[in-house]
Every structure is written in structure tokens, then in C-alpha cells.
Amino acid sequence: MKDWANFIASMPSVPFLPVSDKRLCKKINSLFPGELSGAHLFYSKSIAEMISNKSIVHYFIYRDPRDVVISEAYYLTFMNRWHQLSKYYRRMHDMNERILFSITGSLDPDFPYEYPNIARRFILYQEWLQAPHTFSLRYEDLIGPEKEETIRKIFEFYRDRSHQKLDPREYAARALKKINPAYSHTYRKGQAGGWRTEFTEQHRDIFKKIAGDILIKLGYEKDNNW
């Protein structure tokens, strides 16, 4: 495994415009054998086929969308000032307004960037959940009490997909000792359920209308009584 800090994004922070599938496939095809690359990739058939054809070991990590909007509001306000949306977040009066914006997206037809609501943003990724040769896992399972088992499954998938001989339990134990969030430029708290203390009743009501069904489909809630 070689990590050269490569990152492939369908909608990079700058210029925050969508990258064509053709260009993304070219970037994926240029990865070296054994190279590790992070990504924010919208699902498309051509990208999925490229990942499969190159025998890439592909993981899709998703998170409770309520925590996503909280994380996004803080990240774009305080942590990533070169992102094209950061200046708009910083102009807002308080965190309640920023969280609301993260839920609804921009409702202004003259807004210079494409920033749909949280449901539409998640839909761009959701087909990875059914994609062959993709290992989908929840962020919450990486920080919860079952994290060792989750990491072991990650290495089992890597072993089976790469055909390399390794002991998933040994590698999981080593990985747990190596985890250091301080090396991540996106790390803030590394917790799950932070939305419970940040959401107002208005946030809850609007989120339920926009993305309540997504929470149920992902298994985060059984109904809209939360």
C-alpha cells in the first residue's frame, strides 16, 4: 500500500463544480498498483465499472445524514476556508442558520453553486450501497463498541479482493493501535449522535420532511418519531 495523499472528488472544494465521469475515470485509471486514494465519488455506472475492471478494493463509508449536516456546517465555517461555500457559511448569523442551510441547501435560484438539500446530496452516492465489488460500512460502526469486528471485516474484504495472504484479526489489532485522528484535517469530535444536542425543533421538522425516509432506509430510524 502506497499513500501519496491522492484524493479524487466528483465535486472538489475548488472550484466546486462537477467533474465529468470521463475525467474521473481517467484519474482512477491512473492510480498505481497498490496505491491508496481517498475519494468523494458520486455513483455512476462508468465509475463503478472502472473500479471493478481495475480490481480496486473499494470501500463506501456512510454516516447518519443528521450528523453529516452538523459536521458540514462546522467544517465549512471553521475548518476549510478555501472551500467555495465557506464564505457563505461564515456570513451567517449563528450555527442554527448554518445547520438549516446544510439541511435545505440553497433555495436561491441565483446562488452561484449547485448545493441541493441533504436528501438529494445523499442520493448522488446511495447506489454504492448495492454496487458489486464495493464494501459498504457505517461510520458509526468504526467508532462504536463493535469497531474491532468492523475493522476485521474490512481486512477480510481486502484479503479476498486483493488475493493477498494476511490474517484479518492481526491486521485489525494493528490498525486499532495506529488510529490517530489528529492526522485528519477533517476531524473535529469523532462522535456519533451529535445532532441530538445541535438540532432545534425546526431542524427536526424540516429534516423529517426532506430526508426522513432516507434515515429509515439506512436503518437509523424505524419511523419519523424521533
User: 185 pLDDT exceeds 70?
Assistant: no
Q: In CATH, what number is assigned to the domain containing residue 185?
A: 3.40.50.300
pLDDT tens digit string along 83-135?
Answer: 999 999 999 999 999 999 999 999 899 999 999 999 999 999 999 999 989 99
Total structural domains within the chain: 2
DSSP 83-152: STTHHHHHHSSSHHHHHHHHHH----TT-SS----HHHHHHTTGGGGG-TTEEEEEHHHHHSTTHHHHHH
206 and 148 belong to one structural domain:
yes
How many whole angstroms separate alpha carbon 43 and alpha carbon 21?
A: 10
Domain hosting residue 122, numbered range: 57-226
User: 188 pLDDT exceeds 60?
Assistant: no
How many whole angstroms separate alpha carbon 65 and alpha carbon 117?
A: 11
204 and 155 belong to one structural domain:
yes
**Residue 137, beta-bridge partner list:** 61
